[in-house]
Structure 1
């Protein structure tokens, strides 16, 4: 399935435990699902022995997280944080990743991330069958309460409306099957079609 459903965006999620321990981990079951209000989802698998992963435990306890955008230049650092560190070890220190304070939530943002989505938990839905009595994964539904975007990515038209972000500047990477990743350097555009007889929208 992960070979076929690809490329997948990567949610590089920072969270904080109730006692203040910081965590940073990537998840490639991730997508935007609602515009009003802005909402995203990502799925956190459970360990085979039935233990909850640190990110999920933190999100359930504090109901806050930051999803840091992964650009090409951050790929190696992102991958380093996917190692199975024990709960008492912070990926921030172990992988030498610089943090900065978020605007409205407690978990920090990754310094150098071109965009960060500060989020609040809306739903946590257990999915599938894992260890006895435990789910296989938990789907996290989160509302974005603050967007932090690098200023060079923001452009406006003559009427002051935000223009689409240039994918070349955003430098996104995506997850493929196995250990493969892809860059968004090869792109094409398709105009959105109009139904016969309809008028083009402004």
Structure 2
């Protein structure tokens, strides 16, 4: 099948991209608004781009109502963000932070996640993440209305000592990190320590959750 991307509808292009470019690493991004409100969200249009300067790229789609996502707005407003990588043990918490919540809701608090102070930027790191990259905004590209491709320069990296094989040679036990990758369709993922791909249902929009009793017990 040959596909003319110049003729395909955006949603159909998205289906092809996300079902073929797999697995994709997940950037679990923490930011702060200009008023100091925390925001956390996962993005799988993400990867490393360069070593000198050390750059990574995030693809931040417009929100479902066509507005700019909170993460994108916060990055533009403050010039700072942290990319946390997602271990298998945190898949449910990561999924919960993908909830469609108002800008004044801190998804980290909603998911009951502990944080650690960053060293060079204001947004905090997610404690359960074995790898985190503190970033400053290098280049923002608004490729469509309210849709950004963000290049971030890594100014500090954190790797849990438990996964360091040789500190002098910077060798990391990559497979033991157990990092989750995004697969295709409605909530499919993979991980090195999983025997096969697995599915996690995306949480209902925040507006449908009347109170904390609707949240999973372990996230309260």
Q: How well do the aligned residues superpose, as a CA RMSD in angstroms?
A: 1.6
Give CA-to-partner distance per residue, 1:33-91, whole Å, 9 cap, x none.
00112110011111243311100010000000000110111111100000101111110
The answer as to 2:191 corresponding to 1:183 is yes
The answer as to 2:27 corresponding to 1:11 is yes
Runs of 4+ residues over 6 Å off in structure 1: none
Q: Counterpart in 2 of 1:86?
A: 102
Query: What TM-score, normalized to structure 1?
Result: 0.84
Aligned to 1:47, the other structure's residue is in SS state: coil
Q: Counterpart in 2 of 1:172?
A: 179
Q: CA deviation at 1:25?
A: 0.4
Q: Counterpart in 2 of 1:142?
A: 152
Select the structure that is richer in helix.
Answer: 2
Measured in 1, the distance between the counterparts of 2:152 and 2:29 equals 12
Question: Does the 8 Å contact 2:163/2:174 carry over to 1?
Answer: no
**Bigger shift: residues 178-187 or 42-51:** 178-187
Q: Counterpart in 1 of 2:205?
A: none
Query: What TM-score, normalized to structure 2?
Result: 0.77
Aligned to 1:2, the other structure's residue is in SS state: helix
Measured in 2, the distance between the counterparts of 1:95 and 1:17 equals 19
Q: CA deviation at 1:115?
A: 0.9
Q: CA deviation at 1:186?
A: 7.5
Structure 1: which 5+ runs fail to align? 129-133, 188-202
Q: Counterpart in 1 of 2:36?
A: 20
Measured in 1, the distance between the counterparts of 2:56 and 2:128 equals 22
Structure 2: which 5+ runs fail to align? 1-16, 196-220
Q: CA deviation at 1:155?
A: 2.3
Aligned to 1:92, the other structure's residue is in SS state: helix
For these two proteins, the number of residue pairs brought into alignment is 178
Question: Does the 8 Å contact 1:167/1:184 carry over to 2?
Answer: no
Measured in 1, the distance between the counterparts of 2:60 and 2:170 equals 33
Q: Counterpart in 2 of 1:105?
A: 121
